[in-house]
Amino acid sequence: MKRTVTLTVNGTTYQRDVEPRTLLVHFLRDDLGLTGTHIGCDTSQCGACTVMLNGKSIKSCTSFAVQAIGAEITTIEGLADGDVLHPLQDGFWEEHGLQCGYCTPGMILSSLQLLQRNPNPSEEEIRKGIEGNLCRCTGYQNIVKAVQHAAAKMAEVKV
């Protein structure tokens, strides 16, 4: 028995009928065609599927689509302001914070949550903040630099 899911993603409202067991990540990717959110594991370890749901970062493989009915979701596709990259996107590019790019969308969204809660994190706090996201390429050092880059840029904007 399918259920109707209505939600808003990156400012656009969508309505689809899906099986109740459909995971939010499959809904975003397969039903809405928003494939920037990735799937990297099946036990909520890797964080490749991280999105913002009502302002909080969640692993979208660990939520059913029906749990997100009425929610406001931000995915990597909705982070830039038109052609202007978000400071985090810019930071990852500037600091070589990605190689294969697969973990990057989830890593950026987790970092966004971190900077919203702590705009000026230390290296240790950044490492702790992205602990729920695995990267196999970079050894994390340049991801830390990317987040620091973004933090500095976001602080400038506020001033």
Partner 1 sequence: MGISTMVGARVKRREDPRLIIGNASYTDDMQMVGQLYMSFVRSQYGHANIKSINIAAAKASPGVRGVYIGQDMMDVNPLPSGIPGPDYRAISIGQVKYVGDIIAVVVGESRAAAVDGAELVVVDYEELPAVIDVEEAAKGLPVQLYPNFANNVGFVHDMGNDVSEAFANAEVVLEQKFMHQRLSSNPMETRSVLAEWKKGDQTLTLWTSNQNPHLLRTWLGAVMNLPEHVIRVVAPEVGGGFGPKITIYREEVIACWIARKLGHPVKWSETRSEHLTATSQGRGQQDYVKIAATKEGVVTGLDIVGYCDMGAYHTIFTPLLPVFTGLIINGVYAIPACHYKCYNVLTNKTPTDAYRGAGRPEAILMIERMMDLLAIELNMDPTEVRRKNFIKNEQFPYSSPMGLVYDSGDYATNMDKAKQIFGYDEMRKMQADAQAKGRYVGIGVSTYMEICGLGPSVAVPTGRGWDSASVRFDPNGKVTVATGVSPHGQGQETTFSQIIADELGIPYEDITVKHGDTANTPVGNGTYGSRGLAVGGPAILLACETIREKGKKIAGFMMEASAEDIIFEEGKFSVKGTPGKSVTIQEVAAKSYTGANMFGQIEPGLEATRFFEPGNLVFPFGTHISAIEIDANTGEVSFLKYVAVDDCGKQISPLLVEGQVHGGIAQGIGQALYEEIVYDSAGQLISGTLMDYTVPTATELPHYDLDSTVTPTWVNPLGAKGVGEAGTVGSTPCVVNAVMDALKSTGIKEIVMPLRPEKLWRAINGK
Contacting residues toward partner 1, per CB under 8 A = 19, 21, 26, 29-30, 33-43, 45-46, 48, 75-77, 79-80, 85, 89, 92-94, 96, 98-105, 108, 123, 126-128, 130-144
Instruction: Say how far apart CA 156 and CA 86 lie, in whole Å.
Output: 13
C-alpha distances in Å from residue 80, one per residue of 10, 74, 83, 135: 10, 11, 7, 22
150 three-class SS: helix
* Rounded Cα distance, 31 and 98, in Å: 27
CB 4 to partner 1: min, Å: 18
Q: How far is the CB of 72 from partner 1 (least distance, A)?
A: 18
CB-nearer residue toward partner 1: 72 or 78: 78
Q: Residue 104 Cβ, how far from partner 1 at the closest point, in Å?
A: 6
